[in-house]
Amino acid sequence: LPPPQVEGSSEQLEGSVTTHVLNTVTGRPAAGLALRLARLQGPGPQWTELVQRVTDEDGRCLPLLAPGQAAASTYKLRFETAPYWQGLGHSSLYPYVEVVFTIADPAQKLHLPLLISPYSYTAYQGS
């Protein structure tokens, strides 16, 4: 028998766009970090906010776009890093981190992890 599904399990976290945030100072997930996803709309250009999330104890959140919701377009994922670091008693060079990316194939799943410290960050395409 398959194991029972619990809240926050990978089954519930699957979607067309997902993220995971890790605190590289502690080597632990970044829990309680707010983030927003927006899509570039034309003409203008103008960003339209699609969703807001907060990371859980594992540094993950519900999918930013559910399966079938993605469209071929340019998106921006904004992580609110300053409030996160302030909550841990740290100052931070970056008040937020914005990762702009393009979805070329809406059928493909896209996982965008973020590694953060108060004075650096790294974003990459994960699996």
Least confident range of 3-7, 23-27, 59-63, 73-77: 3-7
| Binding residue positions | 20, 60, 124
Distance of alpha carbon 2 from alpha carbon 63, whole angstroms: 22
Structural domain includes residue 8 = no
- Say if CB 54 and CB 32 are below 8 A apart: yes
| Of 80 and 13, more confident | 80
Distance of alpha carbon 81 from alpha carbon 73, whole angstroms: 25
Q: Residue 60: pLDDT band by 50, 70, 90 thresholds?
A: very high
- Which pLDDT belongs to residue 13? 53
Distance of alpha carbon 102 from alpha carbon 93, whole angstroms: 26
| Binding residue positions for substrate | 20, 60, 124
When divided into structural domains, the chain yields a total of 1
**Percentage of the chain lying above the pLDDT 70 cut:** 89
Burial 48-71 (b: 16+ CB within 10 A, else e): eeebebebbebbbbebbbeeeebe
Structural domain includes residue 117 = yes
Give the count of alpha carbons within 13 A of 118, CB side only.
Answer: 11
Q: What is the mean pLDDT of the chain?
A: 89
- Which pLDDT belongs to residue 98? 98
- Which pLDDT belongs to residue 10? 42
Structural domain includes residue 118 = yes
Local structure of residue 61 (DSSP, 8 states): -
45 prior amide bond cis, ω within 30: yes
Q: What is the pLDDT of residues 1-55, one digit of tens each?
A: 433 333 444 444 567 899 999 999 999 999 999 999 999 997 778 999 999 999 9
Where residue 84 sits, what CATH number does that domain have? 2.60.40.180
Structural domain for 89, as ranges: 24-123
